[in-house]
């Protein structure tokens, strides 16, 4: 039986900030993301939109990939980022699109 790989949070902050790892892995991704009220795809689209509006491009790379894993297509994600340009501002959407292009085409 293979051992479970450490999460991204555990790899980044395991010995340094174990409570943040706990909240990330057990509460956010373990409880919040598993709630039945929304599909994982919908949660991903909402999360991507929030990250774009807050100009959080470091986290966006992970969540764009997660959105694809949760059923959103690249075309849908590009359209969502384009749509967000009109609501969150052109610079944020352009920065987000650069992350998406790098992730999807490199």
Structural domains in the chain, sorted by start: 8-37 (no CATH), 39-106 (1.20.1290.10)
Cβ neighbours for 87, distance < 8 A, ≥ 6 positions apart? 53
Q: Is the pTM of this model over 0.85?
A: yes
Structure tokens at 59: 């986290």
Could you read off the pLDDT of 30-70 as tens digits, one per residue?
Answer: 999 999 999 999 999 999 999 999 999 999 999 999 999 99
């Amino acid at each position: 039986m293979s051992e479970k790989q450490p999460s991204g949070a555990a790899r980044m902050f395991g010995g340094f900030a174990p409570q943040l790892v706990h909240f990330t892995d057990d509460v956010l991704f373990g409880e919040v993301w598993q709630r039945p009220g929304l599909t994982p795809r919908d949660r991903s689209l909402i999360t991507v939109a929030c990250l774009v509006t807050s100009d959080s491009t470091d986290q966006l790379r992970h969540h764009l990939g997660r959105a694809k894993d949760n059923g959103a297509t690249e075309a849908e994600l590009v359209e969502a980022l384009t749509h967000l340009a009109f609501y969150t501002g052109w610079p944020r959407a352009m920065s987000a699109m650069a992350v998406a292009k790098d992730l999807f085409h490199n």
